[in-house]
Structure 1
Amino acid sequence: MRQTRPRMTNLFEQLGLDSSEQAIQDFIGQHQLAAEIHIMDAEFWSDGQRQFLAEKIASDGEWAITVDQLNEALHEDSVPRR
């Protein structure tokens, strides 16, 4: 059985969030995190979402890469631009 390669849209679906391109952009824009806040400590996750993210990061598999991409996107505003 072939598994779907994790993508941001798949991640948002797994988190129970709207997975349209616009909704993903809106979510990221509206949920920017300060540099010192780890993605797992963000106040906007439910316990289930937080657990899912923690499991995927710990797995260090393909999902971990997608979660890391979301983490980077959520911290975009906290990174100084050159």
Structure 2
Amino acid sequence: MTDTIKSRIRAIIAEQAMLEPDQINDDATPEDLGIDSLGLVESIFALEEEFDITIPFNANEPDKSDFDISNMGTIIAAVERLVAQKAA
């Protein structure tokens, strides 16, 4: 399941960044991918819709939220955690 979630997340972010999913690695930040703040908000909405989850409104402040959007690896881990919590 995790690889499927990871590939779906990469596809959503890649679409926003106008890249191919295989061009996105876990260390890439939204800025590295050319995603501005509006693009990041659109990506968050797309992730919420795709996985039927709610991402905290303060996700851009990792010290105040369990959802860290600083790079792809942390975004993937946070979405996986929310999906697992929803399934539990």
The reply to whether TM is greater than 0.5 is no
TM-score, normalised relative to structure 1: 0.35
Higher relative CO (CA 8 A, sep ≥ 6), structure 1 or 2? Answer: 1
TM-score, normalised relative to structure 2: 0.34
